[in-house]
């Protein structure tokens, strides 16, 4: 019988540089007296990320949501956009803020990404783009999506919030589609506390994106379009430069943790690993399992709640489906009933603790507890209260 962890074990921990290094970087910022508006730290981080991600065109933003929102605006889309219901709300909300109607497509059972085989059937004369998500860093079927887009003259935008550094056959993830959004939120592999970026193929978009994120200001007395404030400040950029130095070592640590999880879960029937992508091109953003209630003997929700009693905090990520949000119920495309795989997966996924500081001994204990909980016998009292004992 395992005892609970003395301290909470959370899903992730932000990658934080040594305080001395941050202090030195902040001295640079404060000495410059330039705190925002594309200062030296911002420009250096933008260049370093272009090199790290192996991409030519990249613009920084103060968060991934505004990056995606303004990216969609810059592409001048209209009508309907085919997308996935299995994503973080921000993906769909960026469509909403642009007056675009989401047309939800079902997902692939293995990658949990948008099912490329079902996209074409959803295309109408109102369709202007495909917005796909590299869920947990699992790459979408980028080649098939590209063929569909070319055939139907559609734009392709990727939400790569989970896919920092991911590559497909040696090609950087940001090379696919017309535009890719990256998130630099504190929970991500690489973070600037809050932040994000857009990468894109059309170099002419860069000027417009920089205008959109700075109120549309083209000069001291010239405002050329309606923009908003979405600039990444110097403090965040400086921290990002220090965090970037730590990313490769963090990935190596997470690779070991992932390997141990995989080894242990191979022993537990009813646990399927959703984050399969491995190797140097993996973002190692999350470690996610799917709980097969029939074979594991317990539901995902039950396991999620029981793990809390051991001070282990997991997340039903993603849950619920975006297509089930109340404010989309009157939008006809959101009511497409052909989301059978998404509805199945959303009841099974569970993100487990996964970060470089997590000790391998703790991973062993988490796996042991999940194995023990599988053997628990659940009984119901006459008042339908649940009691269980270890078998």
Same domain, 232 and 306: no
Same domain, 271 and 140: no
User: Last residue of some domain: 244, 274, 293?
Assistant: 244
Residue 121 per-residue DSSP state: G
User: Last residue of some domain: 209, 225, 244?
Assistant: 244
pLDDT score recorded for residue 384? 45
CATH code of the domain in which 196 resides:
3.40.640.10
Inter-residue contact 240 to 45 (CB < 8 Å) = yes
Q: 266 is in which domain, residue-wise?
A: 247-389
pLDDT score recorded for residue 389? 53
Dihedral (CA of 207, 213, 217, 220) sign:
negative
10 inside domain: no
- Angle in degrees, CA 365, 371, 376, rounded to 5: 120
Read off the tokens for 236.
């965040």
Same domain, 219 and 280: no
Same domain, 227 and 336: no
Residue 148 and residue 160: Cα distance in Å, rounded?
20
188 catalytic? Reply is yes
pLDDT score recorded for residue 1? 74
pLDDT score recorded for residue 280? 59
145 inside domain: yes
Same domain, 47 and 111: yes
Inter-residue contact 25 to 40 (CB < 8 Å) = no
CATH code of the domain in which 334 resides:
3.90.1150.10
Contacts of 247 (CB under 8 A, 6+ apart): 15, 52, 164, 165, 189, 190
Same domain, 108 and 207: yes
Same domain, 265 and 309: yes
Please state the domain count of the chain. Answer: 2
Inter-residue contact 237 to 192 (CB < 8 Å) = yes
Catalytic: which of 73, 188, 231, 374? 188
4 inside domain: no
95 inside domain: yes
Same domain, 227 and 317: no
276 inside domain: yes
13 inside domain: no
> Among candidates 303, 320, 300, which has minimal Cα distance to 312?
303
Dihedral (CA of 164, 151, 65, 13) sign:
negative
pLDDT score recorded for residue 276? 80
pLDDT score recorded for residue 381? 46
Residue 303 and residue 261: Cα distance in Å, rounded?
16
Same domain, 226 and 87: yes
pLDDT score recorded for residue 329? 73
Count of positions (residues) in the chain:
391
DSSP state string for 320-340: S-GGG-GGGTTSGGGG-S--H
> Among candidates 209, 191, 189, which has minimal Cα distance to 199?
209
Q: Which long-range contacts (CB under 8 A, 24 or more apart) does 300-304 make?
A: 300/347, 300/348, 300/349, 300/350, 301/347, 303/350, 303/370, 303/373, 304/350
Same domain, 279 and 135: no
7 inside domain: no
379 inside domain: yes
Same domain, 173 and 297: no
Number of Cβ within 10 Å of residue 309's Cβ equals 10
Q: What is the dihedral of CA 89, 95, 97, 98, to 10 degrees?
A: 170
Same domain, 274 and 239: no
Write out the chain's pLDDT in tens, 391 residues.
789 999 999 999 999 999 999 999 999 999 999 999 999 999 999 999 999 999 999 999 999 999 999 999 999 999 999 999 999 999 999 999 999 999 999 999 999 999 999 999 999 999 999 999 999 999 999 999 999 999 999 999 999 999 999 999 999 999 999 999 999 999 999 999 999 999 999 999 999 999 999 999 999 999 999 999 999 999 999 999 999 999 999 999 999 999 999 999 999 999 999 998 766 578 999 999 999 999 999 999 999 999 999 999 999 999 999 999 887 776 655 445 589 999 999 999 999 999 999 999 999 999 999 999 999 876 544 444 445 555 4
User: Last residue of some domain: 190, 210, 244?
Assistant: 244
Residue 185 and residue 59: Cα distance in Å, rounded?
16
């Amino acid at each position: 019988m395992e005892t609970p962890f003395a301290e909470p074990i959370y899903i992730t921990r932000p990658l934080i540089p040594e305080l001395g290094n941050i202090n030195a970087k902040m001295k640079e910022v404060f000495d410059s007296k330039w705190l925002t508006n594309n200062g030296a730290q911002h420009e250096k981080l933008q260049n370093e990320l272009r090199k790290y991600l192996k991409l030519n065109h990249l613009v920084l933003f103060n968060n991934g949501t505004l990056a995606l929102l303004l990216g969609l605006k810059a592409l001048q889309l209209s009508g309907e956009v085919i997308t996935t219901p299995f994503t973080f709300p921000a993906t769909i909300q960026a469509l909403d803020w642009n007056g675009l109607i989401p047309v939800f497509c079902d997902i692939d059972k293995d990658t949990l990404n948008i099912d490329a085989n079902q996209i074409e059937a959803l295309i109408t004369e109102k369709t202007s783009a495909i917005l796909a998500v590299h869920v947990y860093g699992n790459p979408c079927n980028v080649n098939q999506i590209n063929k569909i887009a070319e055939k139907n003259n559609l734009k392709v935008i990727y939400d790569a919030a989970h896919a920092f550094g991911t590559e497909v056959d040696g090609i950087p993830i940001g090379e696919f589609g017309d535009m890719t959004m990256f998130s630099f939120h504190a929970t991500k592999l690489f973070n600037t506390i809050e932040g994000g970026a857009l990468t894109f193929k059309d170099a002419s978009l860069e000027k417009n994106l920089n205008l959109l994120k700075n109120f549309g200001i083209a000069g001291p007395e010239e405002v050329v379009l309606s923009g908003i404030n979405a600039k990444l400040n110097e403090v965040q950029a400086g921290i990002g430069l220090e965090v970037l130095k730590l990313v490769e070592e963090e990935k190596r640590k997470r690779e070991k943790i992932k390997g141990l999880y995989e080894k242990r879960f191979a022993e537990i029937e009813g646990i399927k690993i959703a984050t399969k992508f491995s190797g140097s091109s993996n973002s190692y953003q999350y470690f996610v399992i799917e709980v097969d209630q029939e074979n594991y003997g317990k539901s995902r929700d039950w396991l999620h709640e029981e793990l809390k009693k051991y001070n282990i905090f997991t997340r039903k990520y993603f849950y619920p489906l975006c297509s089930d949000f109340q404010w989309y119920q009157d939008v006809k495309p959101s009511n497409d009933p052909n989301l059978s795989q998404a509805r199945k997966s959303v009841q099974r996924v569970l993100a487990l603790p996964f970060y470089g500081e997590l000790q391998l001994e703790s991973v062993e204990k988490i796996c042991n507890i999940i194995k023990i909980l599988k053997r628990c016998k659940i009984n119901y009292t006459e008042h339908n209260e649940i009691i269980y004992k270890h078998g």
